[in-house]
């Protein structure tokens, strides 16, 4: 069982793990820093569709997920 609730959304967080290249990790950190967020908060906002991906990014992601 998760140890803490997400204060803003009142839900338990689900632990996920992602493996990315060092370049991608750096890019995520840079984007998160530009927005004043942690990498986790950036992913949360993307997952909640509070931050939209560009259409080309969505198509690339769709292609990766269906490959």
5 assigned to some structural domain: no
Domain range holding 48? 19-66
Q: What are 41-53's pLDDT values in tens digits? A: 999 999 999 998 7
> 20: which DSSP letter?
-
- CA–CA separation, 7 and 28 (whole Å): 23
- How many domains would you assign to the chain? 1
Those residues of the chain that have pLDDT short of 70 are 1-7, 55, 57, 67
- CA–CA separation, 20 and 37 (whole Å): 19
Please report the pLDDT score of residue 2 as a whole number: 52
Please report the pLDDT score of residue 65 as a whole number: 77
Please report the pLDDT score of residue 3 as a whole number: 55
1 assigned to some structural domain: no
């Amino acid at each position: 069982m998760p140890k803490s609730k997400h204060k803003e959304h009142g839900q338990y967080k689900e632990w996920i793990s992602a493996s990315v290249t060092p370049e991608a990790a750096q890019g995520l950190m840079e984007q998160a820093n530009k927005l004043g967020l942690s990498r986790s908060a950036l992913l949360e906002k993307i997952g909640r569709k509070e931050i939209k991906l560009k259409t080309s990014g969505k198509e690339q992601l769709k292609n990766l997920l269906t490959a």
